[in-house]
Amino acid sequence: MALAPVLLRAGGASGVRQQARSTALAVLAFAITTALALSVLGGQRAFTVRAANGDPFQKEWGDLYIVLAWVAVILLMVPLLSLGGAAARLGVARRDARLATLRLLGATPREVVALTVTETAWQGLVGAAFGMVGYVLLLPVWTLVPFQGDHLAVSEMWVGPLMLVALLVAPALAALSAAFTLRRVVVSPLGVAQRTTPAGLKVIRLIVTVVAVIGFLVVTTLSGLDSAALTVLILGMLAAVFGSINLVGPWLIWLLGKIAGGTARSAAGLPAARRPADDPKAARRVVGGLGLASFVAAVLSVLPMISEVQGMAPGERLFLDDLVMGAMLTLAITFVVAACSAGIIQAASVLDRRRDYALQALAGAPASLLDAVRRREVLTPLLFVSVTSAGMGLLVITPFLGPGVQIGTSGLLMLGGCLVAGCLLVLAASEASRPLLRTVLRETSVRPD
């Protein structure tokens, strides 16, 4: 641990600047994660408080609101945890050469892991502290949101001492992600350095997904089981479909990359197609958050249809309006978090590939070409994953609509709007690493001497 300051200075002034930049980005990501996670928990608390102490409507409908708030918490925790993981990977991104030097100096793998995990945990801690401030600053914003016929109050959204838990959870999450990321480096250094043709992903990923979707559709037509067993079965198959999105996503990106790589016609298109095919799991990490958000958006596209139902009691109408509001809020946060994840992962990628980029620029490749490659690298999987995820979402919701009922134009418009906005957000976040690329090109030396 005494080596930490030396390690930080290794690489000269530009190395320290790049390290500072990646550290700042990682801290920012942890701060966003913490602020939004606390806000979501605050929302959940607000409904719990109202269920206990609110007006008659809030008490009567309270349990349902609490259940739905927990659903939102669970839905949002997945992308938020992904963002935290991305931040940890970014924290590790700049350390590869220094870790190698430390290994040469005789540091054991355990010491190297401990050093990096500790550094990343510190970033998590600092990010959590900033995130707590962000949560407090966001509180007045949430009071603009009406629920249950009344605007949320700061006192309802205030999680109190629970906030301090973030100071434990964020560093723990950072440390775990960093340890997981480093495990691959330390256990098999050659696995990182080797530049061989990776084995293609197996078609079994597609088969499992198709089986899961068919299984889900079959289960939703079943009758004769008692309702509890059927509910468990449907939820189980729904979870299988949800999980299979993660399974089939990289396979589809790999296939798309292989096809695009074979047909690319331009100097930008060729590496832009080869890179996702080379590491489809990494390519999916960039757009995975949006895939999840698109799936959720497709499921929620029924909301406009539901809210148009006539002849409801005032309480039911209020509940439906709140359902739409909550869903839109969840969706908006999911998209923002997905965009943040994409931006952070792209920044880490720029730092990881800094030497490649510097060498290409040196050989005359203009920075605009490097930008074009990075943009295409994200854009193609982005469109593909968001559309296929939305398609699966529509497939999943269809059995619940009842015979002859369709989502309708307004629902499809909402879904289309969400997909376009989400893609633009992710693209914008990805483009945000342009200045970082320029700095990397200026500061990265192609020769160590």
Partner 1 sequence: MTFPPLPAVPTQHTAVRVAAATAPRAGIRLAARGLVKRFGPTTALAGVDVELADGEALAVTGPSGSGKSTLLHCLAGIISADEGAVLLRGDDVSRLSERERSLLRRKHYGFVFQFGQLLAELPAQENVALPAMLLGASRKDATRQARQWLGSLGLGGMETRRPGELSGGQAQRVAVARALIARPDVVFADEPTGALDQATGAEVMKVLVEATRAAGASLVVVTHDENVAAWCGRRIEVRDGRVVGAAR
Give the nearest distance from C-beta 279 to partner 1 in angstroms. Answer: 8
Query: Which residue matches tokens 């050093």?
Result: 115
Give the nearest distance from C-beta 289 to partner 1 in angstroms. Answer: 24
- Give the C-alpha separation, 371 to 357, whole Å: 10
Give the nearest distance from C-beta 186 to partner 1 in angstroms. Answer: 20
- Give the C-alpha separation, 377 to 346, whole Å: 10
- Give the C-alpha separation, 177 to 341, whole Å: 14
Give the nearest distance from C-beta 278 to partner 1 in angstroms. Answer: 4
For position 447 contacting partner 1 by CB under 8 A, the verdict is: yes
**Which of 49, 107, 176, 270: binder of partner 1 (CB under 8 A)?**
270
**Which of 84, 131, 271, 343: binder of partner 1 (CB under 8 A)?**
271
Show the DSSP H helices in 310-366 as ranges.
314-352, 354-362
What secondary structure does DSSP assign to 16-50, as a single string? HHHHHHHHHHHHHHHHHHHHHHHHHHHHHHHHHHH
For residues 276-335, which are near partner 1 according to CB under 8 A?
Answer: 277-278
From 417, 210, 385, select the one nearest 300 (Cα to Cα): 417
Give the nearest distance from C-beta 359 to partner 1 in angstroms. Answer: 5
17: which residues sit within 8 A by CB, 6+ positions away?
A: 439, 443
Q: Which is nearer to partner 1, 104 or 144 (CB)?
A: 104
- Give the C-alpha separation, 323 to 328, whole Å: 9
Q: Which is nearer to partner 1, 275 or 374 (CB)?
A: 275
Give SS3 for 405.
Answer: coil
Q: Which is nearer to partner 1, 3 or 365 (CB)?
A: 365
For position 265 contacting partner 1 by CB under 8 A, the verdict is: yes
**At residue 273, what is the residue type?**
A
Give SS3 for 92.
Answer: helix
Neighbours of 10 (CB within 10 A): 15
**Which of 266, 391, 406, 428: binder of partner 1 (CB under 8 A)?**
266
Structure tokens at 12: 């000269």
Structure tokens at 223: 């009758």
Contact mark string toward partner 1, 328..367, x via CB under 8 A:
---------------------------xx--xxxxxxxx-
Q: Which is nearer to partner 1, 249 or 271 (CB)?
A: 271
From 287, 299, 306, 288, select the one nearest 330 (Cα to Cα): 299
Q: Which is nearer to partner 1, 15 or 131 (CB)?
A: 15
Give the nearest distance from C-beta 356 to partner 1 in angstroms. Answer: 7
Chain centre to alpha carbon of residue 202:
25
Q: Which is nearer to partner 1, 219 or 277 (CB)?
A: 277
Binding-residue total with partner 1 (CB under 8 A): 28
- Give the C-alpha separation, 355 to 94, whole Å: 12
- Give the C-alpha separation, 38 to 137, whole Å: 12
Give the nearest distance from C-beta 171 to partner 1 in angstroms. Answer: 34
For position 267 contacting partner 1 by CB under 8 A, the verdict is: yes
Q: What are phi and psi of 96, to 5 degrees?
A: -55, -50
Give the nearest distance from C-beta 376 to partner 1 in angstroms. Answer: 13
For position 369 contacting partner 1 by CB under 8 A, the verdict is: yes
For position 71 contacting partner 1 by CB under 8 A, the verdict is: no
333: which residues sit within 8 A by CB, 6+ positions away?
A: 36, 40, 76
Contact mark string toward partner 1, 166..205, x via CB under 8 A:
----------------------------xxxx--------
Q: Are 91 and 123 in contact (CB under 8 A)?
A: yes
Q: Which is nearer to partner 1, 321 or 352 (CB)?
A: 352
State the first-to-last Cα distance of the chain, in angstroms, to the nearest integer: 27
Contact mark string toward partner 1, 210..249, x via CB under 8 A:
----------------------------------------
Q: Which is nearer to partner 1, 161 or 448 (CB)?
A: 448
Give the nearest distance from C-beta 419 to partner 1 in angstroms. Answer: 29
For position 274 contacting partner 1 by CB under 8 A, the verdict is: yes
Give the nearest distance from C-beta 355 to partner 1 in angstroms. Answer: 6
Give the nearest distance from C-beta 443 to partner 1 in angstroms. Answer: 13
Binding site for partner 1 (CB under 8 A): 194-197, 264-267, 270-271, 274-275, 277-278, 355-356, 359-366, 369, 446-447, 449
